Structure 1
Amino acid sequence: MNIRSKTSRRWRLSALPAVLAGVVAAALLAPASPAAAVAGPALETPIATLDAALNCPSSFQHPDREPVLLVHGTSSTADETWGWGYAPALRADGYDVCAVTLPNRAMGDIQVSSEYVVRAIEKINATTGRKVDVIGHSQGPMQIRWALKWWPELQSKVDDAVLIANPGHGLGGGNLLCVAPCAPAMHQFSVGSDFLAALNQGDETPGPVSYTSLYSFSDEAILPHATSPLSGGTNISMQSVCPGRVVAHFSFLYDAVGYKLVLDALSHPGTASPSRLPFGKCIDVNLPGVLPSEAVAATAVATANLSAEVLNATKTQNEPPLRAYAQS
């Protein structure tokens, strides 16, 4: 070995500790990858039960579009809420559509039903390798927000969260009904509940998710109307888009303008923007494919189910206790 090669080797050996130190420092100072995000709590509901509640197409046929997850509300099921309107309309517009059915018609502990949404997002994301667009109606936005808040790893797996008729800061009707024992979920969406305090503490729109909240001043169920807007989200009243338009709580599920705003959120970066809707946007009444007779029939079913569940659902004297992960 000549002198030059020995010198070169000695330099490499002496420089090695400095090089390793630099690599370690770079690793420590580099921003964490999404995979390194803090994981949420373990799911307490059996995975097989959660998976059985999710209905997705046998294969995902639209790789150019993000898959959609639909989350229903109080006293309903996935099929009753979405099966006759949103699901077929979204499929016709080129989306792969999944829907999750929450346990006990969403009358039980919202902390439990939120696990169904957590698992649904994880499974759809793992199956497709793409972010998921999540749409919820009525109580559905509560499950979506609870999942995104307490399972922060989901925030990198969801693109749009579209909240329709969101009771996010509480309903006065819950307080009235829960003077006597009432369903656990009704305790939780009553104004002043521990659940709502935990849901709304800190950032109401965590992560890079695009949050759109659609609400209506003619919604007879979401009162006060100020309960729907989210701090940090895009909040759109139907009357700000179409002055004088009447959109009741259940008619949100077939209102043509509401559907156009949902599609706008799904098909553009960021949240929905009324300015992108076409001229004459307020002329249409029902979303594509929904006949007036279907809307009337579906509304009658929803009304009957709500009345039955308020009377017959399992009732408790008090709100379910907060899970340990949500206690500050």
Structure 2
Amino acid sequence: MTSFGAVAVITAVLLAFGAAPATAAPRYPVPYTFLANVLGALFPYSTPPGSNNWSCLPGSAHPNPVVLVHGFASVINDTWQTYAPLLANEGYCVFALNYGVPPGTPFPLDQVGGRSPIEASAAQLSEFVDRVLTATGADEVDIVGHSEGTQMPNYYVKFLGGAAKVDKYVALAPFWRGTNAAGLATVVRLTSLFGFAPVVNGILDPACAACRQLLTGSDYFAAFGDPVVPGVEYTNIVTRYDELAVPYTSGIYPGMRNITLQDACPIDHAEHFAILSDPVTAAHMLNALDPAHPRRVPCVYVPPFIG
């Protein structure tokens, strides 16, 4: 099914449940509900509406193409059903890649991305950014990433030459010091203390080499050092209700612009997933990408999970 066919089905279902698309720029419907991403997963080989138009040429208002980077266990079509069309309606050239899926992985496991070593995924991103720059004629891109997609691109920026090709870097639900979601970092640390690490790693790493890298206290974060790369403009958007970036304050880092959604909007209950369809987050993201033309950030109730 084409992207337009997929989004037509998604939009029809969302409208049936009372989710109204945005009306400001009607080129693409913009559903502010995470259900759009859930439904997007039903069309695994489609691209989010508004993205990956390889004939798109940036205008003077938004000269940098935006590259969307999904998180762990995701792909583009279950992540960017809200922000891809929103950015396209705002006049950006929008591109999104799938990464971290070992070659030859069959369906449905090919819909579980972000599993390869972060270093390998960053090499995929490097190739993708070069393709975007060649197609658009732009000098730099802006990055908008979610979860693991806030970490992996920074390896590209710091170690693979991306600092010269990335201008603005917007991180949604980041964890610059790693995450201890569900106590997994603690469990891994205990297995190491008691000598079980080789067994656990031997089981886990073939299926998900990135999993241990993302945990608090991992060798990956210890070796990475300071995540702030000079010349790149970082904006972190975090939520106090994050259940996977634990603690959520791991996404707050000195030398970066840090936004906690609930500081200005306590009724925004978006968590790790609903942040992908949150109108409050969307306004912060647009302001981070275009700070010269700030817009009012709304404060509306956003329920967890469904957005």
Question: Shorter chain as normaliser: what TM range?
Answer: 0.5 to 0.7
RMSD (Å) for aligned C-alpha atoms: 2.5
Structure 1 contact 134–161 (Cα < 8 Å) conserved: yes
Letter in 2 for 1:92: N
1:1-328 equivalences under 5 Å are 56-64=52-60, 65=62, 66-82=64-80, 84-104=81-101, 105-127=113-135, 128-151=137-160, 153-173=161-181, 174-176=184-186, 178=188, 179=191, 180=200, 181-182=203-204, 183-199=208-224, 201=225, 203-268=226-291, 276-278=294-296, 281-283=298-300, 285=302, 296=306
Once the 2 structures are TM-superposed, how far is the Cα of residue 111 of structure 1 from its aligned partner? 1.2
Structure with bigger helix share is 1
Structure 2 contact 65–94 (Cα < 8 Å) conserved: yes
Q: Identify if the C-alpha distance between structure 1 residues 230 and 119 changes in structure 2 by more than 3 Å, giving closer, same or farther.
A: farther
Once the 2 structures are TM-superposed, how far is the Cα of residue 277 of structure 1 from its aligned partner? 4.3
Q: Identify if the C-alpha distance between structure 1 residues 214 and 185 changes in structure 2 by more than 3 Å, giving closer, same or farther.
A: same
Q: Identify if the C-alpha distance between structure 1 residues 219 and 57 changes in structure 2 by more than 3 Å, giving closer, same or farther.
A: same
Q: C-alpha distance in 2, partners of 1:62/1:148?
A: 22
Q: C-alpha distance in 2, partners of 1:195/1:235?
A: 23
User: What residue in structure 2 maps to residue 323 of structure 1?
Assistant: none
Q: C-alpha distance in 1, partners of 2:79/2:270?
A: 16
Q: Identify if the C-alpha distance between structure 1 residues 285 and 130 changes in structure 2 by more than 3 Å, giving closer, same or farther.
A: farther
Once the 2 structures are TM-superposed, how far is the Cα of residue 284 of structure 1 from its aligned partner? 7.0
SS in 2 for 1:235: strand
* 1:164-219 alpha-carbon deviations (Å, 9 max, x no partner): 101221111332564544332111011111111122x1x42112111001111111
Structure whose alpha-carbon radius of gyration is higher: 1
Q: Identify if the C-alpha distance between structure 1 residues 186 and 176 changes in structure 2 by more than 3 Å, giving closer, same or farther.
A: farther
Identity among equivalent pairs (%): 28
Letter in 1 for 2:296: P
**Where does structure 1 lack aligned partners over 5 or more consecutive residues?**
1-52, 287-291, 300-328
SS in 2 for 1:212: strand
Structure 1 contact 148–154 (Cα < 8 Å) conserved: yes
Once the 2 structures are TM-superposed, how far is the Cα of residue 285 of structure 1 from its aligned partner? 4.7
Structure 1 contact 215–228 (Cα < 8 Å) conserved: yes
Q: Identify if the C-alpha distance between structure 1 residues 284 and 68 changes in structure 2 by more than 3 Å, giving closer, same or farther.
A: farther
Structure 2 contact 176–227 (Cα < 8 Å) conserved: no
Q: Identify if the C-alpha distance between structure 1 residues 91 and 285 changes in structure 2 by more than 3 Å, giving closer, same or farther.
A: farther
Q: Identify if the C-alpha distance between structure 1 residues 285 and 226 changes in structure 2 by more than 3 Å, giving closer, same or farther.
A: closer
Q: C-alpha distance in 1, partners of 2:271/2:301?
A: 16
Once the 2 structures are TM-superposed, how far is the Cα of residue 87 of structure 1 from its aligned partner? 0.8
Structure 1 contact 256–284 (Cα < 8 Å) conserved: no
* 1:29-58 alpha-carbon deviations (Å, 9 max, x no partner): xxxxxxxxxxxxxxxxxxxxxxxx9x7213
* 1:66-103 alpha-carbon deviations (Å, 9 max, x no partner): 21100001101011111x21111111111111001012
Question: TM-score scaled to structure 2, two decimals?
Answer: 0.68
**Where does structure 2 lack aligned partners over 5 or more consecutive residues?**
1-46, 102-112, 192-199
Alignment size in residue pairs: 227
